[in-house]
Structure 1
């Protein structure tokens, strides 16, 4: 990093590329005052801002001492820029307390690309678009041109758009080989629409911005995850097979497990989300949000879990940080004052879709410890669970809600998923179960990396749509990996079925093909299991699924090594091709194919009724996994019948024997 100052001009550059600058023609900082209006409906936020004033600030005072420069902008804000090798830290001080809007411009050029901002499901390269950072439901369809999104908007205010995300984060990586992190949990927007600059808007004067450069994407990712922390390695049992998403009580769940095993499908675990009971709403089958095993549906569940363990199979459940107001745990929490309230002290309940829940106030240390010890430990870990879906986290309301910490809900909202992740992490760590128990989350924020051992892509539609179907999970995994969260997976076959949109056998198998080349394979019956295709309904599907799971299991040693690399260096398991082929322009353009570690290239079939598929291969010799045919750099059309996704491995890979064994057994 290099600082250049003279008179009333300033620039910060890395490797000859100017990142920040202020001069007469290029102002760096704007400030203002605004009034926002935020309405939430079931986790979907309608956000409007009335900008009362916005002014450009002049740089009036520059003071330098060694590698530190103090910049005073019109006596409104002061920025202290500190340089330590390739890292620049901007500590920002608010002088005018009336300000609540802050804008900073980052120098750019037309060719520059930006990646990250948490888990973005629609676009890997962020250039040319605007991205609000505010965790929320991602929406159904997420494409304003489609019928499903339109109808979801009309009926439920839930259609979403390309930028809606459970896990947005104010951090990006530039193709000019630096990362920028905005150290603020306030609502912000990253606007990449201009060719010559990007503008970051924050609904407060933030405390800090960090910029750090590197000599490669690997270098930057390692530095980025040094800062945030890294996901631990997954438990060894994960790689023994498929995690089955089954529900309906003991008889149905364990009968379907046995039928699955009889078909030769290797199973590592059973995930029963309705271990706590169920509710049926207009949306479909939901859960009883009272995190205690349901004694009618799952009688003697701890004993059943022990039986599974004796068979070498794990059991996973479900929990989230809200409690339904007709449940036993709600009564206990309310008695102790562990819920957030309205500002007048009355109950604050959130509508989660035809049932109301209290918000456990995770900013209250006593409430935090109660949920950690008396809910997660007592009712999940202590009965023998090996993991769970740690759901939600993005629903903290922003209107009349009072938190123990005294912080504004608008400031706390983006931090809420991180608090929720840490609560789970602390419960597992304190019980000495790190590396044995795995919980998976959809919501996140800056700092989730250390506390979230496994990301899950959320509630995709059960279809091939680009913005909310199979393809969106590829982009989501790659963007999350570029934000330091490199272990991700998704519901095989998707989850959300609305307005006659139902899962097909073809969709399920195409999704399973992709999932065989991700860190974790897990099924889900979806929100309307009775009207959607399920793998156990079709013998041919079960045979094909058994083969794909076996391929995944045969790759165990390879997957474990790339998961370890993520834990040690922050290099994601699913990688954009360009991090290995940085000079290949086409590698940047292909957002629906990825490298699975350094030696495997995967191009999932994400369209219906396709038996051939176009693949782009970067500059190496690539061996087609199923045929053994060798390919070189370029665009190729390959056969892709159901069960045989376009997958290639690098010739000469030290793992070549694994891939050859897969071909010999499953070609």
Structure 2
């Protein structure tokens, strides 16, 4: 039953001596307690356990020239946009803020609380409503009364120890406390400045928070979730101008904020993803290594054959130059045609068949640029499929090839159909998907077929591009049943259910913070919080325009990070001939093979994590706070993460390092690949660990088990025409290897896979010294190099430890290893 209390104003005026008068209105919405004060205006929301989910600021006026750190505020502003190479600089001319001083006339209308927004002098500034779309979720809507007011701000209090994660592909920070973050889809830039000030070559070098995936979703450590539902430019001020006060700003006359509560951060993220939608579960082949190959049919075949001959597992060959490429003195650039280049790939269809026979999916490349000398220019511009100028001509700008370029108008159904038809030709020729690149460049002053405001459509352009790709692959799958995927780098609200694999974009080929190797971890964590769980990045980096090509050291470090990422994927990079890669020497080939084998063997773990992400919204790449929310470093670390729920990964992202500090929460942790344990006290601890060039520090909590494939699996592709010599995941059947790290007394760890058909459980511990033999279903089995081999389901007993295997074939082989 809903409880509502409305306190008359005269009661509030009758000598309330307390500094905190009773609320004007109290009610329950969606299982959350709502308290609203009329004068001064204030809103507070608590969960069933009394934890404050949202604590609004007090109402009042806003001093001229100051940020509106009050309950709410509205104003008018004009903006002019400067743009260059996909980067946008807003120049705002704004009137003073009108601060909301009172929430007047609060009333309950059905399941909605409504109230008026008034200034200190009683002028009506707007209206507000509060409702609950789902349990544990509130929707707060503020609407400006004056149609000229196209900026709305909402203020909130920050607790002293509060952290704010998310906001999409942010490359500097994981915790955004102390920052004001502008959100607008645009190029990342080449390199990153430490500030958001537009200075120097602002259209080339990125700003601190400039990203192609700015997502207005944040996770607070309260815990609580914030989702600002807008298609326009937005600002999140996380206590940057005042350590106790923050605010959100929408560049339109309405602010729509979804608030999410939960008993822990994981529950909050589930509710957030329930709201925005979750992506399809990617095909299994996504979770085995991907390798790029280019320079024509013969070289692509050579690469594929070499991978199989050297037992380097891989499920994907992706070929970016299938539409053509050009060799420059220091870079390899792509043609911007839309159809296969028959000079480089005269037998594209046969090449696709050959790759399929070797157990590879064959991915290519597409984007929405239409360049003046491209093969589709006349078709697009004659049919009116391009964005336009006010005069009705194709809107052109200087594009990535430094030639006149326009964009497909994705607001035009005919243009979308044309694009699908051209892309479909690649599928019918044998491609299994592609990189869906760019989509950040839509000008704010173009004319769209739909008549939509291009400033409002700008952030939605990548969403519509992703919708096109997803629809096309679904249409083709309905006809032929072939598993395919596309992967993307740009996005906004609405992208979450449309894109399976998201990659981090074009990092620099160096160790620089903000845009080099270190930027990958913050981006992956921020994207995971914002609803993109299937994360990839370019091993070795891509952009070398302002730095040196990929070095041996950089590439070695990036390979190890790639192996312990959800998706392991190489890229040749801009300086394709100069960049260090897996074929640079024999040692590099072996380094890549070793880590690709580990990634392939982790397939049962990664695929189950993908299923969990699809079902619950929990990302695969996670901040440590999702498992240890009370441990503060888990909210702030930019150079460590959890892969799933049980592998703490601490990549080396500093040039020249031979060791690194690793912060671990309370407990005992074992090195993933063997070694003595580390034990952290009640507050956690920092350990300096060795990190040779070929290694990556990674740790597993005591009381864990990890399920792996046996060695020797080549691919996760299982097609009828795959050569018998290629070993697939299906060929491994139910055979597995378990790595077991017993915990203390009463410790348990569980895992399931194959839709729950196979399950595993570890109980008990610890084991100080392994005995000579273990007990398997009542029969002694000897340890050989700290491992036992058993057949079928059953229970293994080792002193105080039991490991139970349920399901699977009675003749399955399982190796249980105690590293």
What TM-score results when the alignment is normalised by the length of structure 1? 0.94
1 CA distance for matches of 2:600 and 2:625? Answer: 27
Q: Could you say which residue in structure 2 is the equivalent of 1:128?
A: 178
Deviations 1:567-622 (A, max 9, x none): 11110001000110011122223221011011111100111222222211222322
SS in 2 for 1:621: strand
SS in 1 for 2:341: coil
Q: 2:130 aligns with which of 81, 89, 96?
A: 81
Q: Could you say which residue in structure 1 is the equivalent of 2:81?
A: 38
Q: Could you say which residue in structure 1 is the equivalent of 2:229?
A: 183
The range that moved more, 114-123 or 654-663, is 654-663
2 CA distance for matches of 1:28 and 1:455? Answer: 36
Q: Is 2:62 aligned against 1:12?
A: no
Q: Is the 8 A contact 1:153 1:159 kept in 2?
A: no
Deviation at 1:135, TM superposition (A): 0.8
Deviations 1:509-553 (A, max 9, x none): 100101101111111111111232222121110011100000111
Q: Is the 8 A contact 1:517 1:596 kept in 2?
A: yes
Deviation at 1:208, TM superposition (A): 2.0
SS in 2 for 1:431: helix
Q: Within 5 A, what are the aligned runs for 1:422-571?
A: 422-432=467-477, 436-571=483-618
Q: Is 2:357 aligned against 1:313?
A: no
Q: Relative to structure 1, is the Cα distance of residues 331 and 662 closer, same or farther in structure 2, using a 3 angstrom cutoff?
A: farther
Deviation at 1:85, TM superposition (A): 4.2
Q: 1:387 aligns with which of 415, 433, 436?
A: 433
Q: Could you say which residue in structure 2 is the equivalent of 1:68?
A: 112
2 CA distance for matches of 1:248 and 1:272? Answer: 9
Q: Is the 8 A contact 1:235 1:435 kept in 2?
A: no
2 CA distance for matches of 1:153 and 1:489? Answer: 31
The range that moved more, 80-89 or 651-660, is 651-660
Q: Is 2:299 aligned against 1:252?
A: yes
Q: Relative to structure 1, is the Cα distance of residues 440 and 76 closer, same or farther in structure 2, using a 3 angstrom cutoff?
A: same
2 CA distance for matches of 1:161 and 1:512? Answer: 27
Q: Within 5 A, what are the aligned runs for 1:164-243?
A: 164-192=210-238, 193=240, 194-206=242-254, 208-240=256-288, 242-243=289-290
1 CA distance for matches of 2:357 and 2:328? Answer: 37
The range that moved more, 518-527 or 67-76, is 67-76
Q: 2:398 aligns with which of 351, 361, 372?
A: 351
2 CA distance for matches of 1:16 and 1:537? Answer: 56
Q: Is the 8 A contact 1:34 1:53 kept in 2?
A: no
Q: 2:688 aligns with which of 598, 619, 637?
A: 637
Q: Is 2:378 aligned against 1:331?
A: yes
2 CA distance for matches of 1:583 and 1:264? Answer: 44
Higher Cα Rg, which structure: 2
2 CA distance for matches of 1:282 and 1:206? Answer: 52
Q: Is the 8 A contact 1:260 1:536 kept in 2?
A: no
Q: Relative to structure 1, is the Cα distance of residues 201 and 239 closer, same or farther in structure 2, using a 3 angstrom cutoff?
A: closer
Q: Is the 8 A contact 2:74 2:144 kept in 1?
A: no
Number of aligned residue pairs: give it.
Answer: 659
Q: Is the 8 A contact 1:324 1:356 kept in 2?
A: yes
Give unmatched runs, 5+ long, in structure 2. Answer: 1-31, 62-68, 119-123, 708-736, 741-783, 788-816
2 CA distance for matches of 1:238 and 1:408? Answer: 37
Q: Is the 8 A contact 1:234 1:435 kept in 2?
A: no
2 CA distance for matches of 1:507 and 1:651? Answer: 32
Q: Is 2:161 aligned against 1:111?
A: yes
Q: Could you say which residue in structure 1 is the equivalent of 2:712?
A: none
The range that moved more, 549-558 or 607-616, is 607-616
Q: Is the 8 A contact 1:162 1:467 kept in 2?
A: yes
Q: 1:365 aligns with which of 413, 417, 424?
A: 413
The range that moved more, 601-610 or 5-14, is 5-14
1 CA distance for matches of 2:579 and 2:38? Answer: 68
Deviations 1:611-642 (A, max 9, x none): 22221122232211222322222222222212
Deviation at 1:306, TM superposition (A): 0.9
The range that moved more, 250-259 or 553-562, is 250-259
Deviation at 1:209, TM superposition (A): 1.7
Deviation at 1:370, TM superposition (A): 2.1
Give unmatched runs, 5+ long, in structure 1. Answer: none
